[in-house]
Amino acid sequence: MNALDTMISPATAYSVAGGFADAVVDIFAHLDLSLSTRKGDGLAVFSPIDGSQLASLRTDEGGDMDTMVANARTAFAAWRDVPAPHRGELVRRYGLLVREHKEALSQLLTIENGKILTEARGEVQEVIDICEYAVGLSRQLFGLTIASERAEHRLTEYWHPLGVLGLISAFNFPAAVWAWGTTVALVCGDSAIWKPSEKTPLTALAFAGLLQKAAADYEFAPDHLVQVAIGDAACGAILADHPDVAIVSATGSVRMGQDVGVRVQRRFGRPVLELGGNNAAIVAPSADMGLALRGTIFAATGTCGQRCTTLRRLIAHEDIRGDFVKRLITAVGSLNIGSPLDDATHVGPLIDKAAFDAMQRALEQARREGGTVHGGERIEVAGSPDAYYVRPAIVEMPAQTDIVREETFAPILYVLSYSDFAEAIALQNGVSQGLSSSLFTSDVREAEKFQSAQGSDCGIANVNIGTSGAEIGGAFGGEKVTGGGRVSGSDSWKNYMRRVTATVNYSASLPLAQGVKFDLDID
């Protein structure tokens, strides 16, 4: 155990006996944050655990957004002058606050989003980890020295803060995706406005509230360095269109990205798009079947199928498909489905009725396209008639039909088969999305081919682990309609800065590049 982990508050500190709305009030009081100035009748927030209302919030309209952007511009002008390691100090302090309140934040996240508590704790841990990553980065925002073709010239590239970050996020990772972008942007010298999903605004107000507290206590942090805009798509569209929002990082559906990406591009802002996936795992005959089974089940059913990296397509070799699918159906049948606050639960609820309806529509279409559906039915959970719990579905398909090529944001795993490896890769790549992919094999040639240029066309290509659960160090994102963006990891900090190429001539002559002659007879 890390010594810092002793700072974490004890588990089960918040009783839900009085209802989830009261638990939310208790959690905000424990965090020493107030919701009172946010109360209003613009946005009702519900818990997917039982469908009960958690809060009603005031939303931000056009005028509020303009003020927010103006304040963020002012904050940027001050923050960009703070040395990067000092900017890192703010993020370090924030990370300690999140660590201190890990349990409270995890419970809030579960209550509002519905993911099981262990996954919520994992998401909060990811926020803590990314803070540490960003702090390290604050001393490593390095440029290049390049060999100049001209004598006595120095040619370099360096990086400056870019401006205001507008970050639009999805409901399924209501804290981590924001932290990926915001902590890195902060050490890069940018200010930030967060437009969280309208389904998870309370989690946003808690996580951003703690950062605002850390900033208020930090002498170098200007006012309005980090702000939260509460509202729906219209609120996000204002950020996308605003000429003073330099970077728009948008995580969500392809439909959203098609709109936001074009809006940002039209004004030559910088878009960073993290959009939908339709992730596949290939299971080869040489695979360790136990490992493949465990990897498949977590990837397909974790977060109730509501991860961008959820496993949606299983491409099994024809020799092992029958047995593998039989074991898969049995295992999925034994998963505990119920309250995400119960430690024994494997699969919590879908976010809302719309998600349930979309899942049922997809299963009907799969049947029409020749599929055989196992599971997928609604599960009644005592005391939660307004919540949407489901048994994850395994759907045996005759081919990669239209519905298989779509992302349905629910726990549906389509099973396809292949006979030779090239066919498996063609199926894996035969969709418009390009986020995550995996291969289970013991054959080194297959493993290498899968990760080569001839192999997976996704941003993530794993061997012998599932498609979900990426670590923070590597660049995270995908190709094709997944948008091509990388919010965090590796060198994606460059998305939050502007590059300057700078030449210094320390000679007494003025040679031109490429040998161009421009002789002038002047003193």
Q: Which is nearer to ligand NAD, 112 or 198 (CB)?
A: 198
Residue among 274, 396, 446, 457 that touches ligand NAD (CB under 6 A)? 274
Residue 437 makes contact with ligand NAD by CB under 6 A: no
CA atoms within 13 A on the CB side of 423: 13
| Whole-number Å distance between alpha carbons of 135 and 310 | 30
Q: How far is the CB of 44 from ligand NAD (least distance, A)?
A: 15
Check if the beta carbon of residue 207 is closer than 8 Å to that of residue 97. no
| Whole-number Å distance between alpha carbons of 283 and 281 | 6
Interaction residues for ligand NAD, span 348-387 (CB under 6 A): none
Site string for ligand NAD, 295-314 (x = CB under 6 A): -------------x------
Span from 148-156, 192-200, 287-295, 488-496 in contact with ligand NAD (CB under 6 A): 192-200
Residue among 197, 212, 249, 339 that touches ligand NAD (CB under 6 A)? 197
Q: Which is nearer to ligand NAD, 260 or 395 (CB)?
A: 260
- Catalytic hit among 89, 103, 198, 274: 274
Residue 489 makes contact with ligand NAD by CB under 6 A: no
| Whole-number Å distance between alpha carbons of 425 and 202 | 42
Interaction residues for ligand NAD, span 213-232 (CB under 6 A): 232
Query: DSSP 3-state assignment of 174?
Result: coil
Residue 276 makes contact with ligand NAD by CB under 6 A: yes
| Whole-number Å distance between alpha carbons of 521 and 249 | 53
Phi-psi region at 53: left, alpha or beta (left = phi > 0; alpha = psi -120 to 50): beta
Q: How far is the CB of 39 from ligand NAD (least distance, A)?
A: 20
188 annotated active-site: no
| Whole-number Å distance between alpha carbons of 317 and 197 | 39
- Catalytic hit among 131, 235, 308, 458: 308
Q: How far is the CB of 170 from ligand NAD (least distance, A)?
A: 3
Q: How far is the CB of 231 from ligand NAD (least distance, A)?
A: 8
Q: Which is nearer to ligand NAD, 189 or 269 (CB)?
A: 269
Check if the beta carbon of residue 165 is closer than 8 Å to that of residue 182. yes
Q: Which residues contact 247 (CB under 8 A, 6 or more apart)?
A: 162, 163, 164, 165, 166, 185, 190, 269, 270, 271, 272, 495, 496
Residue 247 makes contact with ligand NAD by CB under 6 A: no
Span from 10-18, 99-107, 253-261, 439-447 in contact with ligand NAD (CB under 6 A): 253-261
Angstrom CA distances, 344 to 117, 326, 335, 340, 412, stand at: 10, 24, 9, 9, 22
Residue 259 makes contact with ligand NAD by CB under 6 A: yes
Residue among 21, 35, 96, 233 that touches ligand NAD (CB under 6 A)? 233
Residue 324 makes contact with ligand NAD by CB under 6 A: no
Structure tokens that stand for 440 in this block: 């289970």
103 annotated active-site: no
Span from 4-12, 84-92, 122-130, 272-280 in contact with ligand NAD (CB under 6 A): 272-280
Q: How far is the CB of 258 from ligand NAD (least distance, A)?
A: 8
Site string for ligand NAD, 396-425 (x = CB under 6 A): -----------x-x----------------
393 forms beta bridges with: 412
Phi, psi angle pair for 314, to nearest 5°: -110, 125
Interaction residues for ligand NAD, span 170-189 (CB under 6 A): 170-173, 177
CB neighbour class for 120 (10 Å; exposed up to 12, middle 13-18, buried from 19): buried
* Length of the chain, in residues: 523
Q: How far is the CB of 107 from ligand NAD (least distance, A)?
A: 21
Q: How far is the CB of 252 from ligand NAD (least distance, A)?
A: 3
Residue among 182, 183, 212, 251 that touches ligand NAD (CB under 6 A)? 251
| Whole-number Å distance between alpha carbons of 300 and 292 | 12
Span from 43-51, 89-97, 163-171, 422-430 in contact with ligand NAD (CB under 6 A): 163-171
Q: Which is nearer to ligand NAD, 291 or 358 (CB)?
A: 358
Structure tokens that stand for 51 in this block: 């469908």
Angstrom CA distances, 13 to 17, 83, 334, stand at: 12, 39, 30
User: If you compute the radius of gyration of the chain from its CA atoms, what whole number of angstroms results?
Assistant: 25
- Taken in order 51, 53, 54, 60, the sign of the CA dihedral is positive
How many residues touch ligand NAD under the rule CB under 6 A: the total is: 31
Q: Which is nearer to ligand NAD, 112 or 407 (CB)?
A: 407
Check if the beta carbon of residue 499 is closer than 8 Å to that of residue 157. yes
What is the distance in angstroms between the CA of the first residue and the CA of the last residue of the chain? 72
Contacting residues toward ligand NAD, per CB under 6 A = 168-173, 177, 195, 197-198, 232-233, 236-237, 240, 251-253, 256, 259-260, 274-277, 308, 407, 409, 435, 478, 482
Q: Which residues are catalytic?
A: 274, 308
